[in-house]
Structure 1
């Protein structure tokens, strides 16, 4: 399983590098899209990283105008994270890149085998 994961991951890394992005940044954009306004600590939990590691990741996304931190009104010390329009546009493209990467990496499988693989991986993930 580890070898297969590495093959998939390397394929995706190669494709994301054309956009000067790393998989963690792509994942962060997707999580922010799913949960607009989430806090940095929530993003850290979703990415399974330590909260201090989120700061440089978000700084890079903000530098590229892909995400913005907005001060929360009730607690002015907290910031909600949102995708920018540029981030939304890029994420749509990145999602297609991820799909293409997965299809390319599993090209030796037919549609039923790919469906079965995804079903089984989901079962492993949820256990």
Structure 2
């Protein structure tokens, strides 16, 4: 028979019969990458729920925001901005085009290249989606006060912009 695991010293003084619930993922608590992934999952789930009423996913919203900021950008540039492989951009853009939210326009100098633009419908929807995303962010980080949110954002940018 296997010897039962011993509890850390801080929990050995608990009265007999006390049920101690150690989270199953406690072994990963000290890993920043794990904590960031868990936080990202919570943030994305909140955003996914909000965007679902518009039949959009976070990647599509992100693409729309990037296109809006950079009208006429090429698919390869959009892929780089989204940190995805270029072939993954095609179905994403196909979905946006099928909904008349974005258009690909052939570039004059290079007939093989297309610039990507939001349609008027896409621009109008993006305005609403930005408000939804901002509120979703606030809701998902409600345990933080404004100064903590600002500090977390500053630190996360420091990590990924390095």
Please say whether Structure 1 and Structure 2 have the same fold, judged by a TM-score greater than 0.5: yes
Post-superposition offset of 1:123:
1.5
Who is 2:30 aligned against?
A: none
Larger radius of gyration: 2
Q: Bigger CA drift: 79-88 or 117-126?
A: 117-126
Q: Could you report, residue by residue, the CA deviation over 1:25-76 in whole angstroms, capped at 9, with x for unpaired residues?
A: 0111011011110111111111122211111111110110000011111111
Who is 2:125 aligned against?
A: 90
Post-superposition offset of 1:102:
0.6
Q: Distance in 2 between matches of 1:33 and 1:121?
A: 24
Give ranges in structure 2 of 5+ residues lacking alignment. Answer: 1-34
- The answer to whether structure 1 residue 21 and structure 2 residue 21 are counterparts is no
Q: Distance in 2 between matches of 1:53 and 1:120?
A: 29
Count, aligned residues: 127
Does 1 or 2 have the higher relative contact order (CA < 8 Å, sep 6+)? 1
SS of the residue aligned with 2:73?
coil
SS of the residue aligned with 2:105?
strand
Q: TM-score scaled to structure 1, two decimals? A: 0.94
Give ranges in structure 1 of 5+ residues lacking alignment. Answer: none
Post-superposition offset of 1:14:
0.8
4+ residue stretches of structure 1 with deviation over 6 A?
none
Who is 2:139 aligned against?
A: 104
Who is 1:126 aligned against?
A: 161
